[in-house]
């Protein structure tokens, strides 16, 4: 079910472009009001706010409706409450499909955007091919600051490097990009894909763009058990083998999406034949390395060491780094 205020006039090319803030929510009743307030306070205009609630079992949907009904301001709201749960990918795809803006900004129902976030990104976006992020400060469930390496993303250009490193630093709740990343490649479709931010950022790389960092802290990211990035980062004890297997499922889905988008980029003549072949080979190598690491972690110590030595000899040090990333709690972003 979609609820919307009357459609605004779409700005002409001589005016500021319309930005769609895409917010996906699920069981965020404890945090959603603060998240909505942060987006409502954005100084940039024209702005539409697309909120898609994924059939929350708590009061999230009613809080959203009440907030939007009471809102008095310049921004346009489009609210969808799903009758059944679509999952992370389905809900995000729905929100992107509904968005009418020339640019997309992302927000989650448990994080908080500071009021100048969208303005800062739109002021500094140099290229419609780029994926731009602002810095984030982590907080706990009560809003207290939490130190984290989240503040230091690693950003490098190039298709090959970003496949091997899984697009480190591409955090969706901090990002803005042009809608062409959605329109050219179409909806994300890899089964089980949860790392939507990394997949969209990789599309920017395929277009010849970059992931760019704005050095202002304009998002407060909430660390809690339900977060995609931080869901297990604060557990005191856990099985490294089990965690790696769980996380490697996310990486496998991301690599599959990367492969699909590489093929789309080649068909549309965005990359040449050699880049396409090399990228698909790297996807196969990374998939093999992840499977080998998962098997090694489940093996007795002598066999584990032999497997690790084989990976190093074959040039797959990144796979071992990613395994350590699971152990250290800095998930996904090596």
Is the Cβ–Cβ distance between 111 and 146 less than 8 Å?
no
Phi, psi (rounded to 5 degrees) for 29: -55, -30
Using one digit for the tens of pLDDT, what is the confidence trace for 215-263?
888 999 888 665 544 443 444 335 666 777 778 888 899 999 999 999 9
State the average pLDDT for the chain.
Answer: 83
pTM, rounded to two decimals: 0.84
| Backbone phi, psi, residue 177, to 5° | -150, 165
- Per the CB < 8 A criterion, the answer to whether 161 and 170 are in contact is no
Tell me how far apart the alpha carbons of residues 76 and 20 are, in angstroms, rounded to a whole number: 9
Q: Would you call 15 exposed, middle or buried from its count of C-beta atoms within 10 A (0-12, 13-18, 19+)?
A: exposed
Domains and CATH numbers, the chain: 2-222 (3.90.550.10), 240-328 (no CATH)
- pLDDT tens readout for residues 86-119: 999 999 999 999 999 999 999 999 999 999 999 9
């Amino acid at each position: 079910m979609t609820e919307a205020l009357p459609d605004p006039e779409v700005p002409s090319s001589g005016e500021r472009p319309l930005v769609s803030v895409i917010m996906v929510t699920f069981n965020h009743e404890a945090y959603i009001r603060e998240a909505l307030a942060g987006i409502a306070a954005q100084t940039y205009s024209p702005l539409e706010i697309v909120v898609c609630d994924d059939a929350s079992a708590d009061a999230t949907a009613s809080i959203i409706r009440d907030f939007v009904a009471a809102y008095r301001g310049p921004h346009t709201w489009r609210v969808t409450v799903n009758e059944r749960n679509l999952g992370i990918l389905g809900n995000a795809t729905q929100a992107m499909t509904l968005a009418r803006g020339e640019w997309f900004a992302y927000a989650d129902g448990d994080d908080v955007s500071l009021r100048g976030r969208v303005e800062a990104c739109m002021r500094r976006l140099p290229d419609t091919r780029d994926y731009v992020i602002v810095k984030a400060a982590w907080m706990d469930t009560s809003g207290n600051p939490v130190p984290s390496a989240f503040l230091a993303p690693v950003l490098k250009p190039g298709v090959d490097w970003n496949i091997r490193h899984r697009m480190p630093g591409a955090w969706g709740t901090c990002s803005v990009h042009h809608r062409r990343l959605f329109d050219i490649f179409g909806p994300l479709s890899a089964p089980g894909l949860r790392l939507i931010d990394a997949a969209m950022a990789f599309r920017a790389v395929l277009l010849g763009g970059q992931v760019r960092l704005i050095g202002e802290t304009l998002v407060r990211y909430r660390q809690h058990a339900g977060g995609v990035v931080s869901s297990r980062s604060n557990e005191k004890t856990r099985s490294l083998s089990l965690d790696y297997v769980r996380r490697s499922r996310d990486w496998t889905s991301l690599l599959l999406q990367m492969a699909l988008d590489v093929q789309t980029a080649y068909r549309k003549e965005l990359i040449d034949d050699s880049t396409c072949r090399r990228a698909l080979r790297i996807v196969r190598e990374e998939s093999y390395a992840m499977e080998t690491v998962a098997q090694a972690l489940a093996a007795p110590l002598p066999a584990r060491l032999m497997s690790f030595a084989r990976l190093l000899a074959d040039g797959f040090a990144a796979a071992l780094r990613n395994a350590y990333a699971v152990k250290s709690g800095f998930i996904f972003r090596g």
